[in-house]
Chain A
Amino acid sequence: MEKSLFSFIWKYSSRQQLFILMVTVLTYPVVYVLLELPKLIVNDAVQGDNFPRTIVGFNFDQVPYLVLLCFTFLGLVVVSNGLKFYLNVYKGRLGERMLRRLRFELFQRVLRFRLPHFRKVSSGEIIPMITSEVEDVGGYIGEAFALPAYQGGMLVVQIGFIFMQDPLLGLAAISSYPIQGYVIPLLQRKVVLLSRQRVRNIRVVADKVGESITGVAEIHANDAAAWHSADISDRLYENFRIRYDIFNRKFLIKFLNNFMNQLTPFFFYLIGGYLVIQGDLSIGALLAVIAAYKDLAGPWKELLSFYQMTADVSVKYQTVVENFDPLDIYDTSRLTSDDIVKLGGDLTFDNVAFSGGAAGQEVLDISLNVPEGRACAVVGPDGSGRSEVLQLAAGLVSPATGKICIGEHDLDKLTDSTLGREIAYVGGAVHVWTGTIRDNLYYGLRHRPLVAPEREGEDLKNYKRRVSEAKETRNPIYDRAAVWDDLDAAGVDSQEKLDEKALALLEAVSIDKDIYRLGLQSRFDPSMNDAFAEKILNVRKTLADRIAEEPALSGLVELWHPDRFNASASLAENFFFAVPTDPEITMDQVPELPTVKTFLSDTGFDKKLQQIGLKIAETMLELFSNVSGDSGLLGSYSLITPEELPEFERIVRIAKSDQQRPGLSDADRTRLMGVAFKLVPARHRLGVMSDELKDEIIAARKQFLEEVVSDDEGFVAFDPDVYLPPLTIEDNLLFGRARVDRRDARRRIDDVIRTVVEETGLRHPIIYAGFGYHVGVSGSKLSAGQRRKIALVRGLLKNAKITILDDIATGMSEDDKALRKGIREILDGKTFLFGTSHVEIASEFDETIVLDQGRILDKE
């Protein structure tokens, strides 16, 4: 990578830089004429005589002449500003492109690091380098050549003018430059050093903050917050100190510069004055020189700040780039190459040594041979070199000496395109990507875009632009929207078959039940798959029929019925009898929606709800006012939280008093309604729900449906014959509520749902729906065991010639035994390396290699 900023800029943008220079030079005459024209207008057109003037053969009287000059002026203003605008946009675009190129290059270099290198760098340091630290480079690149050229040119011209007036005065004008040229870089060098320190220090801060976030549970568990606070505080002080030093020096430079610049006129007056008195110089010339010198200050200042910026940006560039140039970095072709070598034959280690694994683990002089198609256990406790041997076999790390071959091919000479496709490796520390379960399962099949999507119109235009920009900046042109799933590699011929295969593997590693449960909890868009929605509706009917037929079940559920009040559901659900289309909006928020608010106040129902809310609040206060907040009774049973209690005490007091003032505020009323809406009559049994009230609510529900829901996109009405996308699949299956006043109703009804789902063959579609479940940041919504199993299925789905598992399913429980047996059946006929620390497990495999202290102990 280019070590200095300027070689980077010149290498990738010399053409553009020359173009910018050219356009800048083009603006010179325009600016010059623009400055001259006002003089001409005032002196010649306004105050002049002897008209007409003749211009290119046309005669102009005074007024037309004035008009002509003014319009020329206007035209030039437009041209000059237009050029400036064009140039600025051009520079900005160039800067952004270069920045994109730089950032991508840096990221690609991260991917090219060898694995052991990641023990030395942390993401907390790398991230700010790629994101914020190089940011300034973008803004600088557009100016890198144009600014010094333009301002330097100005400076030379002005100095030349002074010299022409008088060489001695010229010397006086530039007399301070050598001193400035010596002192300023000296100071600037110190600033550069400080800047480097500052960047490094801030990186450490970023790293520490990142570490604190990852280890936050440890911080609390060990009461180490003070220690971390002190640590960060120290670093921040360090940062302050460095920055303060930088300011001091920066402003010292400015001070020196200003001082020197104002010192020069001193010489002018002294030497120039003397020369004028002696009669060697005309007074006019002296004044002209002084005026010219004033004009020098502008470009000089610009050049100085440019110089400071150059120093600053160069330092930033260097301190970033030096981190991305380790000696042993992989070639780019390892990532980008598309050559796939079909691996076949025995896996052989030939006197392999490797050092620098976890905890400095060494592997010494290992020679082994795993025949093609055999299952081999690699046994050794942690620290025996087992993990290193398996990583070596997967081509993830390279041996220090010796050779690892599969058939004839030396793994070290192969690229990712072979290693990552022909070998499946699942290590002990698996990573699940942020995304859906499907994304994670098929991750091992997404090597390159395979089928480009069809684009037309605006979409196609955007795509073309994206591609051309990528080419400009040497970014890859892989299409994210394309189909990436490599069906052939998985050994299937359609997406459906791939899903089936994934399901079969999920069942083999027995995680299908978990995915089924996630599927029940997920939502799906019926417009994507009509048939599935249809089936769910059928199950809903079957369930309803079965519940109606069997008295034992009918007592467990209350189904949604447009004409019935559901005592096991909240008042809000009963009242609105609809759900917001956006699943992010909870039932609690619905009364706040503007349309709902209007409806409530128009129908006068808000008053009634406030009355109910008031009654509930009174009862709650009566029941809980003597209960202390920390007993837990208030939290779990009351409709009002302990924090809200004083608020409601006030509200009830105001409502009870007959005085008109202060009265209840709108917020108070909303609160009361909120409490009323939360009431679940069968659970709370406050006796506020009389039959009249229920009838009124059902009537209001119908009115709400007609007036609001029917023509509001934001709501979907409860309808037994319609699939409701905002509800989970489970809620759509059981179109009602399990009764809260029956013991175990939820569990018993779940059992019934499961049987009906299985009878109707809906289990698989629901699991597929579970594929769409979002696993959270790095799979945080899954358990560690689930993450491992998903990673395992990902590895198995690759259908690779060689599969390497390390520390996966190595328990002695029956479950793990069955799992191992299942995996061996799936991988029958393929080379399979299984890393474990249990010697007992070895007997399940064809071959065994026992490792200890980085050496082979035993081979069978």
Chain B
Amino acid sequence: MRKISGIAVRSLPVIWKEYGWREALEIEMSLETEVEALRKVPLFRGIDETKLRLLAFISDRTEYPSGERLCSQGEEGDCAFIILSGDANVLVDTPDGEKTVAQVSENSIVGEIAILCDVPRTASLVAASDMDVLTVSKDDFLKLLKEFPDISLEVMRTLALRLERTTRDLADARRGAAGS
């Protein structure tokens, strides 16, 4: 038994047996689970616990049944999706219609670029199974950054690391291309 906000919660399988999955989910549907998920997102790795809780609280928790569309390619992106459970297909428009190019699953963040700058969605996202998603809206995230500049630093550090890696990969690729 572990405690969530002071209330005893039995382990998930037990509840599942007693009440069915919906109830089990609902009990798990508390901030703590969301914080756990957020912690696993690289972009938020350096942010401390209480601020992650705040981010989780101001984000929307949304369910998507299998087949429902989370976002469409080309539309203005205004939020990032953090998948708490389930999988989604990433689809791209081709002359022959939409094609699945990848699948994203639990604990991954999709569309995070959209919460930092204005870019259209580069792909569509469709739920491949019943999903539970945390939606972080751009406005709220930016407000949070303004409020806590140390978060900005963390995000910047992560982005810089990513940029450095991309640059190195690019250089490697060039070298590879030049070498061949």
Contact = CB atoms under 8 A, between A and B. Distances in A.
A11 interface: no
B32 interface: yes
B144 interface: yes
B30 interface: yes
Contacts of A662: none
B22 to A, nearest CB: 10
B5 A619 contact: yes
Nearest to A616: B5
Interface stretch (A370-378, A624-632, A779-787): A624-632
B54 interface: yes
A255 interface: no
Contacts of B146: 631
B78 interface: no
Contacts of A688: 5, 7
A160 to B, nearest CB: 93
B43 interface: no
Given A633-B140, A637-B57, A623 B50 contact: yes
Interface residues of B, number: 35
Contacts, number: 77
B143 A691 contact: no
A496 interface: no
Contact of B5 (A615, A691, A743): A615
Interface stretch (B61-69, B87-95, B110-118): B61-69
A637 B61 CA distance: 13
A571 to B, nearest CB: 15
Interface string A196-216: 000000000000000000000
Interface in A515-568: 551-552, 555, 567
Contacts of A628: 147
B132 to A, nearest CB: 9
Contacts of A686: 5, 30-31
B147 A633 contact: yes
Count class of interface residues, chain A = 20 to 34
Interface string B13-49: 0000001000100110111101000000000000000
B144 A633 contact: yes
Nearest to B8: A690
A849 to B, nearest CB: 50
Most chain A beta-carbon neighbours within 10 Å: one of B4, B57, B147: B57
A845 to B, nearest CB: 45
Interface string A632-664: 110011000000000000000000000000000
Nearest to B71: A743
B62 to A, nearest CB: 5
B4 A687 contact: yes
B9 interface: yes
A455 interface: no
B27 to A, nearest CB: 7
Contacts of A633: 54, 58, 140, 143-144, 147
A791 B180 CA distance: 80
A685 B5 contact: no
A672 B68 CA distance: 39
B11 to A, nearest CB: 14
Contacts of B65: 551-552, 555
A703 to B, nearest CB: 23
B6 interface: yes
Nearest to B148: A626
A402 B4 CA distance: 89
Contacts of B7: 687-688, 690
B76 interface: no
Contact of B27 (A551, A632, A691): A691
A691 B14 CA distance: 13
Given A623-B50, A633-B140, A685-B34, A742 B62 contact: yes
Contacts of B26: 567
B147 A622 contact: no
B6 A622 contact: no
A552 B65 CA distance: 8
Contacts of B172: none
A739 B26 CA distance: 14
B147 A687 contact: no
A691 B61 CA distance: 20
B75 interface: no
B98 interface: no
Given A615-B6, A633-B58, A741-B61, A687 B32 contact: yes
B31 A685 contact: yes
A741 B63 contact: yes
Given A567-B26, A690-B7, A743 B144 contact: no
Interface centre among B8, B23, B50, B62 (most CB of A within 10 A): B62
Interface string B135-169: 10000100110111000000000000000000000
B53 interface: yes
A552 to B, nearest CB: 7
Nearest to B65: A555
A622 B143 contact: no
Contact of B147 (A551, A555, A627, A690): A627
A15 B162 CA distance: 102
Contacts of B31: 619, 685-687
A623 B53 contact: yes
A685 B30 contact: yes
B55 to A, nearest CB: 10
Nearest to B15: A691
Given A623-B53, A741-B63, A742-B63, A685 B143 contact: no
Contacts of A631: 143, 146-147
Given A631-B147, A687-B7, A691-B23, A743 B62 contact: yes
A743 B30 contact: no
B64 A743 contact: yes
A616 to B, nearest CB: 9
A741 B61 CA distance: 6
Contact of A622 (B53, B64, B68): B53
A729 to B, nearest CB: 29
Interface string A593-630: 00000000000000000000001000100111011100
Contacts of B64: 742-743
A688 B70 CA distance: 29
A632 B53 contact: no
Contacts of B62: 741-743
A432 B43 CA distance: 56
Given A619-B5, A624-B54, A686-B5, A741 B60 contact: yes
Contacts of B4: 687
A636 B4 CA distance: 25
The CB with the most chain B CB atoms within 10 A, among A626, A631, A633, A636, is that of: A633
B19 A691 contact: yes
A718 to B, nearest CB: 22
A555 B6 contact: no
Contacts of B68: 743
Contacts of B144: 633
A632 B64 CA distance: 28
Contact of B57 (A555, A685, A739): A685
Nearest to B58: A637
Contacts of B30: 685-687
A628 B135 CA distance: 23
A633 B57 CA distance: 10
A685 B29 contact: yes
Contacts of A636: 58
Given A636-B58, A686-B5, A690-B8, 20 more contacts: A555-B65, A619-B5, A623-B54, A631-B147, A633-B143, A685-B31, A685-B57, A685-B61, A687-B5, A687-B31, A688-B5, A688-B7, A690-B9, A690-B27, A691-B19, A741-B60, A742-B62, A742-B63, A742-B64, A743-B70
11 contacts: A615-B5, A623-B54, A626-B148, A633-B140, A633-B147, A684-B57, A686-B5, A688-B5, A690-B8, A741-B63, A743-B70
Task: Across the A-B interface, give the 10 residue pairs with the lowest CB-CB distance, nearest first.
Answer: A687-B30, A687-B5, A637-B58, A687-B4, A623-B54, A690-B7, A631-B147, A633-B143, A743-B62, A631-B143
